[in-house]
Structure 1
Amino acid sequence: MWRGVRAWRREHAWRTGAALPLALLATACIGPRPEAPAATVVAPPPAWRTALGPGTPIRADWWSAFGDPALTSLVARALANNPDLGAAAARIDEARAAARLARAQQTPLVNGSAPGTTGQTVSALGTPSDAIGAQPAVSISYDLDLFGRLRQASRAAQAQLLASEASRDTVRLAIASSVATGYITLRALDQRLAVARQTLDARAEGLRIARRRAETGYTSNLELRQAEAEYHATEQLLPAAELSISRQENALSLLLGNVPGPIPRGLPLDRLAAPAIPDGLPADLLRRRPDLYQAEQTLVATDRSLDSARAAMLPNLALTGSAGVVLSSALADPIAVFSIGASVLSPIFDGGRLGAQADAATARRDQAAFAYRRTALQAFREVDDSLAGVRRSGEQANAFAAQRDALAGALRNASNRYRAGYSAYIDQLDAQRGLLTAELSLVQARADRLTAYVTLYQAMGGGWSRDDAAIVQR
């Protein structure tokens, strides 16, 4: 990760063997260029290069790997209409204009003027007459930029433009991930609502049987009251699930750039595909993360700004020239005028202003270096957490599925024994409660597993293919 920092440092290192004597004198005055903070080796976790099972190429539109056309359509709408992307595009336009302005500082500045004059002239005979004159002129000024102050400022602005574009890509990735996560959450809420309705139907049937047995005197009213309580306990799950669905739909509508409204559905939660993970994830793929690239370009921009700030402490040579003519009704022929000159501006005493600006630029460069390292470490952590989440949530979902199947069998046995009069109603009631809890937990575990895949895609900076991984490994 820090190989690029050292390359930039070598590229911008001050050359004490410059041809101009002013460079030698100025370099001795301002001292050696401050080095970037010492780099610490940032190594990826060893588990990254272990095989995770057979994998297939993952497309750049990674959300399509879940196999739901409705999800693909929602992500496309969000990437087209989300207002945050509009704001990011405006920031790119601002950075592009700043880069053009910085480049324009390196070109000659040409100005034109044509001042007019009116007055009176007196001839040799003492006769006054009116005179009208004009002096059109063109002036050119050019900064030779001997020590690269303007060049480094232009390169810093260009790096900042690249950082702004990377920031836009970070927003795009975050929006796509938020839509995918929100859609998975919505489908999980839909399935929770379906489970609650199925359980409510089963509780209604149990309540009907308990009422009939109590009316015939076969059982006491205790079982009837227990059945009624369980029915109402399940009934209150429906409005809570419907409220959560409504709020989740509104959240997704906001991501889509729309007013609150219903969200189209596609496949149910249990039919969403679990994307395949390649047989190993090279750490260098993390360089495709837009936030890491943004931090990298920010470091480049601050490093070049430091060069520009230090160059401002050196003498500045500017060339100026002007040419024009003097036109007047009092003159028989126009008079040509021109001037060529050069000026050297060098700071002698500024109260430490330029030195303070250079120190501030050095501090900003160091902050960007530490921020870049922190972003790299955060990227490693997010990928490792996501890989663990994919594994463990899958194991948890399998365990909940086995528990759900076992409790479904226990409920069938308890219901048969209760109808035959071999067991009390409390046995069937406990089995119903356990099955409901296991089904809701299974829905949540499946949603967590799919969300872990979304988090992994976001942590890796989006989609990649097996060919891309092979190229990086080579």
Structure 2
Amino acid sequence: MLAASTSLAACIGPRPAPPAASAVVPPPGWRTALGPATPIRADWWNAFGDPVLTDLVDRALANNVDIATAAARVEEARAAFRLARAQQSPQLGGQVPSTSGQTVSPLGTPSDAIGAAPAVAASYDLDLFGRLRQASRAARAQELASEGARDTVRLAVASGVATGYITLRSLDQRLAVARQTLAARAEGLRIARRRAETGYTSNLELHQAEAEYRATEQLIPAAELAVTRQENALSLLLGAAPAAIPRGLPLDRLAPPPIPDGLPSDLLRRRPDLFQAEQTLVAADRTLDSARAAMLPNLALTGTAGVTLSTALANPIGVFTIGASILSPIFDGGRLRAQSDVATARRDQAAYTYRRTALGAFREVDDALAGVRRSGEQAVALGGQVDALAAALNNARNRYRAGYSSYIEQLDAQRGLLTAQLSLVQARADRLNAYVSLYQAMGGGWSRDDIDAVRRP
């Protein structure tokens, strides 16, 4: 898999250096790298401090339909490997025919007879040039690649559930902000109506207050619709029918795990898509070896052994044959050569796919680290803006009630505060989702033990 160790740095600090060229090419032992893929850990989500989130991820990993489909593909690949391996074993077959009737003597005199000739046939391909062995190894690599594909789906489902839950909690908070704002504007509308009825102000302020109240009111059904759709999307990931999703901690109380000072790039070796790409490359190379071996002579051994029983014979007669055949292509119109060229091209495609996957892994990590940092900075700035606008709204409300300013000042402050509050909710959700993206990009999160295990002395 990844052949170099490059520091990916932490979310705070300089931009990580680009990976070396040797980090995005297959390692030296890729042709024999047949180890199992790293399983997906679900306990990493405990670091967020929300048991509901952890439970949802566990449920999705156990019941998701896409994961079940990927697991079925793994079983198919395992059966294909067993089939390819069975081609290297001797083939045995038996036949026990039964006949009854009459036999005819050389003089033409019929006589009653009952005869049977049981026989056993055997054949074995010596596979002198490794055609069957390479095909079996290619099937084994395909099996491992299917396991990598399954774990890729598991990783995507776990990340999708976490992202969906964070989005759901952000929608809940947006709905709460809308309802709080609606309550405040209802109070402003009541005051504006009372002032208009007493003739203290014109109907202009009343209509402005009513328009802002209606503008906030329409945010609530839109937010409720988004919540319902998000719950349905999460239910689908959980492998269940649409239903309400339990809630845990609010958005602003979710605490993502801290990022160490340096994340070694060797952690990316755990990514199942890299493992899949490597095993696909192994399978393509083994298929190429098998295609080349098919162009060489093939030696097969065959034999039969049996016994003939008949009432016309005093003793049974044993019969056996053994032989060998050599099959060598003489002229096939270029079919075998074309098959070899096809296998070569597919092997090259698999190598380029591995390189692209490795480069994409580094990009995803860099994007996630930048997202954690920049969205965190944005959330801090928006938090300060919300505090300032809340103070400004309080001042504008007091000045309006005292008659020192028009309603438009309070209206502007309310608009600005609502926009800043919704932006703050989105920034917090983006920051948490950046941690989820980093979890997926690192192939299943990180821990101090994982870092110490891959860090080189």
CA distance in 2, matches of 1:340, 1:135: 17
Q: 1:292 aligns with which of 274, 289, 297?
A: 274
User: What is the aligned partner in structure 2 of residue 218 from structure 1?
Assistant: 200
- Contact kept, 8 Å, 1:142 with 1:319, in 2: the verdict is yes
Which stretches in structure 2 are left out of the alignment for 5+ residues? 14-39
The 1:73/1:458 distance shift into structure 2, 3 A limit, reads same
Q: Deviations over 1:93-123 (max 9, x none)?
A: 1101000000100000001112234453455
Indicate whether 1:146 and 2:151 are aligned.
Answer: no
Higher alpha-carbon deviation: 325-334 or 204-213: 204-213
The amino acid that maps onto 2:333 is G
CA distance in 1, matches of 2:61, 2:107: 85
- Contact kept, 8 Å, 2:5 with 2:266, in 1: the verdict is no
Give the CA deviation at 1:139.
Answer: 1.2
Q: Deviations over 1:146-173 (max 9, x none)?
A: 1110000000000000001111101111
- Contact kept, 8 Å, 2:77 with 2:139, in 1: the verdict is yes
Q: Deviations over 1:279-330 (max 9, x none)?
A: 2111111111001100000000000000000000011111112211111110
CA distance in 2, matches of 1:51, 1:244: 31
The 1:169/1:201 distance shift into structure 2, 3 A limit, reads same
Q: 1:368 aligns with which of 333, 336, 350?
A: 350
CA distance in 2, matches of 1:123, 1:147: 52
- The alignment of Structure 1 onto Structure 2 pairs a total of residues equal to 430
The amino acid that maps onto 2:285 is D
User: What is the aligned partner in structure 2 of residue 116 from structure 1?
Assistant: 98
The 1:186/1:122 distance shift into structure 2, 3 A limit, reads closer
CA distance in 1, matches of 2:249, 2:135: 53
- Contact kept, 8 Å, 2:2 with 2:358, in 1: the verdict is no
CA distance in 2, matches of 1:67, 1:229: 42
Indicate whether 1:323 and 2:305 are aligned.
Answer: yes
The 1:267/1:467 distance shift into structure 2, 3 A limit, reads same
The 1:125/1:265 distance shift into structure 2, 3 A limit, reads closer
CA distance in 1, matches of 2:333, 2:354: 34
- Contact kept, 8 Å, 2:81 with 2:136, in 1: the verdict is yes
User: What is the aligned partner in structure 2 of residue 189 from structure 1?
Assistant: 171
SS in 1 for 2:325: strand
Indicate whether 1:301 and 2:276 are aligned.
Answer: no
User: What is the aligned partner in structure 2 of residue 65 from structure 1?
Assistant: 47
User: What is the aligned partner in structure 1 of residue 25 from structure 2?
Assistant: none
Give the CA deviation at 1:422.
Answer: 1.5
User: What is the aligned partner in structure 2 of residue 421 from structure 1?
Assistant: 403
CA distance in 2, matches of 1:133, 1:443: 90
User: What is the aligned partner in structure 2 of residue 236 from structure 1?
Assistant: 218
The 1:126/1:239 distance shift into structure 2, 3 A limit, reads closer
User: What is the aligned partner in structure 1 of residue 33 from structure 2?
Assistant: none
CA distance in 2, matches of 1:258, 1:118: 64
Give the CA deviation at 1:219.
Answer: 1.7
Give the CA deviation at 1:126.
Answer: 6.3
Indicate whether 1:437 and 2:443 are aligned.
Answer: no
Indicate whether 1:162 and 2:141 are aligned.
Answer: no
Give the CA deviation at 1:125.
Answer: 7.8
CA distance in 1, matches of 2:232, 2:106: 92
- Contact kept, 8 Å, 1:59 with 1:65, in 2: the verdict is no
Q: Deviations over 1:404-424 (max 9, x none)?
A: 000011111111111122211
User: What is the aligned partner in structure 1 of residue 363 from structure 2?
Assistant: 381
The amino acid that maps onto 1:95 is A
User: What is the aligned partner in structure 1 of residue 20 from structure 2?
Assistant: none
User: What is the aligned partner in structure 1 of residue 185 from structure 2?
Assistant: 203
Give the CA deviation at 1:51.
Answer: 7.6
- Superposition pairs for residues 385-464 of structure 1, below 5 Å? 385-464=367-446
The amino acid that maps onto 2:76 is E
Give the CA deviation at 1:73.
Answer: 1.3
SS in 2 for 1:327: strand
Higher alpha-carbon deviation: 395-404 or 267-276: 267-276
- Contact kept, 8 Å, 1:136 with 1:326, in 2: the verdict is yes
CA distance in 2, matches of 1:408, 1:121: 112
Computed over aligned residues only, the root mean square deviation of the Cα atoms, in angstroms, reads 1.8
Give the CA deviation at 1:63.
Answer: 2.1
SS in 2 for 1:111: strand
Higher alpha-carbon deviation: 388-397 or 59-68: 59-68
Higher alpha-carbon deviation: 157-166 or 122-131: 122-131
SS in 1 for 2:142: helix
Give the CA deviation at 1:185.
Answer: 0.6
SS in 2 for 1:462: coil
CA distance in 2, matches of 1:82, 1:313: 45
Higher alpha-carbon deviation: 221-230 or 449-458: 221-230
SS in 1 for 2:257: coil
- Contact kept, 8 Å, 1:51 with 1:280, in 2: the verdict is no
User: What is the aligned partner in structure 2 of residue 250 from structure 1?
Assistant: 232
Give the CA deviation at 1:359.
Answer: 0.5
CA distance in 1, matches of 2:171, 2:292: 59
CA distance in 1, matches of 2:331, 2:105: 54
- Contact kept, 8 Å, 1:138 with 1:324, in 2: the verdict is yes
Q: 2:257 aligns with which of 265, 270, 275?
A: 275
SS in 1 for 2:189: helix
SS in 1 for 2:295: coil
Please give the TM-score of this superposition, normalised by the length of structure 1.
0.87
The amino acid that maps onto 1:254 is L
Please give the TM-score of this superposition, normalised by the length of structure 2.
0.91
Indicate whether 1:179 and 2:161 are aligned.
Answer: yes
User: What is the aligned partner in structure 1 of residue 18 from structure 2?
Assistant: none
CA distance in 1, matches of 2:171, 2:2: 45
- Contact kept, 8 Å, 1:59 with 1:465, in 2: the verdict is no
**Aligned-pair identity (%):** 79
The 1:59/1:141 distance shift into structure 2, 3 A limit, reads closer
CA distance in 2, matches of 1:214, 1:43: 72
Q: Deviations over 1:328-383 (max 9, x none)?
A: 11000001111121111111111111111110000110110111110011111111
Q: Structure 1 segments of 4 or more deviating over 4 A?
A: 50-53, 122-127
Give the CA deviation at 1:77.
Answer: 1.3
Q: 2:314 aligns with which of 323, 326, 332?
A: 332
The 1:418/1:71 distance shift into structure 2, 3 A limit, reads same
- Contact kept, 8 Å, 1:379 with 1:459, in 2: the verdict is yes
Which stretches in structure 1 are left out of the alignment for 5+ residues? 4-41
CA distance in 1, matches of 2:438, 2:288: 37
User: What is the aligned partner in structure 1 of residue 84 from structure 2?
Assistant: 102
The 1:221/1:126 distance shift into structure 2, 3 A limit, reads closer
Indicate whether 1:353 and 2:300 are aligned.
Answer: no
Give the CA deviation at 1:467.
Answer: 2.0
